[in-house]
Amino acid sequence: MVKVYVLDVPEFRPIIEGARRAHIGVSGPARGYYVIAGERELMFSRKALGLKPAVWYSSLSGGLEGRIAQFDRDTLRIVEP
């Protein structure tokens, strides 16, 4: 299981909404965080989410369970460890 913890602040709301649109499991908010969970991999596109680079690069500030396979200007891919 791969998880990304997303702070419950307006700047990160597009990540939550994007996960829900893609039918990825989202729970929360609880204790100030949402949890996005997937079986083997989670992948997000900055452009598709409409995030500015500063918000994009801080999107993992809530933490994660998994391994970062790719994190560049447009793609974030988290996989099983």
Judged by DSSP in three states, 30 sits in strand
- Each domain of the chain, given as residue ranges in start order, spans 2-79
Q: Is the pTM of this model over 0.85?
A: yes
Superfamily of domain 2-79: Monooxygenase component MmoB/DmpM (3.90.56.10)
Burial, 53: exposed, middle or buried (Cβ in 10 Å; 0-12, 13-18, 19+)?
exposed
Cβ neighbours of residue 50 closer than 8 Å, sequence gap 6 or more? 14
Task: List helix spans (H) across 1-81.
Answer: 13-21, 46-49, 53-57
pLDDT tens-place string over residues 32-80: 999 999 999 999 999 999 999 999 999 999 999 999 999 999 999 999 9
